[in-house]
């Protein structure tokens, strides 16, 4: 008799993972195909386009994963109802929450894998091809500034991309000022390279204090490095979950706002809770009094509409957390807790007999 709950748990877990796997396979296949066709003209060959599509797919995983968990849960319980296996499971003496427990555990494990493995892997792949699209820009342009006791260095660029361990800035203008803000030199170049040694370019136009232009190579040793630029200007979703805590502490130490990064960190940390809430919602939608002619299509459509409504709700809470209206932690944990409470109440009060 002790083995029966374990056997049923493994059985229900397999059905849940099968349902989620089917949904993930379909959704990932559609997204991969669309992005492959979209990225094919901008890549040299099909292999490069496929790799680019794979990177884009990993970026989209956090967006559709909660919905995939919900649809997979609904599909798994629909199959149990259709085959009358739910009657056999219920006759074993399991309550609705005991029946749902394997799905909730499986959803939590998927959330843990997404946070600790998929997110760092996605960030690592995408960090190899960082452009200005990944930066938080001011007026759609890149601005860098370094100050010291003797001078100020300000650089404006239209675009940026990574090349190995260096950053290349396109259409860049550099202003060098004295401590009293007097302009000492202005430098303009099509491409400026930033390395650990500082700023440099092989062809630049330079203006001195008298406004006389000269052309030639130019370099300047600065404290700005490629890593400091990326750390300062990267958007929250371009930083790995494992690196976010140290990054947040470093940004707080220099007085930079980290609300967006805190929202990203708490989102990833509580992603298993979000997955559990969506699985609970899927179990609630799968409750039915009908043994035959189960209206799966209607429940599925209503579930999709509910998911979209919840998506806007979660985004609203995220926006409130990013703007400081709500504490970031509260903005992240409130939606899944509300979903779990509502879905759990429905499961408890639903009469299945």
Name residue, tokens 């409470």.
341
Check if the beta carbon of residue 60 is closer than 8 Å to that of residue 31.
Answer: yes
Q: What is the pLDDT of residues 4-27, one digit of tens each?
A: 567 788 888 888 999 899 989 998
Say how many CA atoms lie within 13 Å of 175 toward its Cβ: 14
Pair of tokens at residue 131: 């452009």
Q: List 169's β-bridge partners, or say none.
A: 160, 192
Which segment, 120-129, 200-209, 224-233, is predicted with the most confidence on average?
200-209
Span of 51-65, 111-125, 228-242, 328-342 with lowest mean pLDDT: 228-242
Res. 213: pLDDT tops 80: yes
Q: Specify the pLDDT at position 231.
A: 62
Separation of alpha carbons 79 and 248, rounded Å: 45
Q: Specify the pLDDT at position 255.
A: 59
Which position has the higher pLDDT, 229 or 190? 190
Q: Specify the pLDDT at position 2.
A: 44
Pair of tokens at residue 210: 């008298």
Which position has the higher pLDDT, 35 or 138? 35
- With a CB cutoff of 8 Å and minimum separation 6, the contacts of 162 are 127, 128, 129, 130, 131, 168, 226
pTM for the predicted model, two decimal places: 0.71
Check if the beta carbon of residue 238 is closer than 8 Å to that of residue 127.
Answer: yes
Average pLDDT, the chain: 80
| 3-state SS assignment for residue 192 | strand
């Amino acid at each position: 008799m002790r083995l029966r709950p374990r056997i049923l748990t493994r059985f229900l877990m397999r059905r849940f993972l099968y349902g989620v796997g089917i949904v993930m396979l379909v959704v990932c296949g559609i997204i991969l195909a669309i992005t492959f066709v979209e990225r094919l003209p901008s890549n040299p060959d099909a292999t490069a386009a496929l790799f680019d599509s794979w990177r884009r797919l990993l970026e989209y995983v956090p967006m559709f994963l909660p919905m995939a968990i919900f649809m997979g849960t609904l599909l798994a319980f629909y199959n149990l109802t259709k085959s009358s296996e739910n009657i056999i499971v219920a006759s074993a003496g399991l309550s609705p929450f005991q029946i749902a427990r394997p799905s909730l555990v499986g959803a939590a494990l998927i959330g843990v894998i997404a946070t600790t493995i998929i997110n760092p892997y996605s960030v690592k792949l995408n960090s190899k091809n960082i452009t200005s699209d990944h930066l938080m820009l001011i007026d759609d342009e890149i601005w860098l500034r370094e100050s010291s006791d003797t001078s100020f260095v300000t650089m404006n660029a239209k675009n940026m991309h990574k090349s190995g361990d260096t950053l290349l800035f396109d259409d860049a203008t550099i202003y060098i000022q004295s401590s009293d803000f007097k302009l000492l030199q202005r430098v303009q170049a099509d491409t400026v390279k930033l390395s650990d040694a500082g700023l440099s370019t092989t062809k630049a136009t330079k203006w001195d204090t008298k406004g006389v232009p000269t052309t030639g190579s130019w370099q300047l040793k600065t404290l700005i490095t490629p890593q400091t630029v990326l750390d300062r200007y990267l958007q929250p979703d371009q930083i790995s979950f494992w690196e976010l805590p140290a990054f947040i502490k470093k940004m707080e130490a220099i007085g930079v706002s980290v609300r967006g990064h805190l929202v990203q960190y708490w989102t990833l940390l509580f992603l298993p809770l979000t997955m559990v809430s969506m699985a609970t919602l899927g179990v609630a939608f799968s409750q039915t009094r009908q043994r035959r002619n189960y209206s799966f299509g209607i429940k599925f459509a209503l579930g999709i509409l509910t998911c979209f409504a919840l998506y806007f709700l979660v985004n609203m809470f995220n926006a409130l957390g990013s703007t400081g209206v709500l504490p970031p932690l509260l903005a992240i944990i409130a939606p899944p807790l509300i979903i779990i409470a509502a879905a759990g109440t429905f499961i408890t009060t639903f009469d299945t007999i």
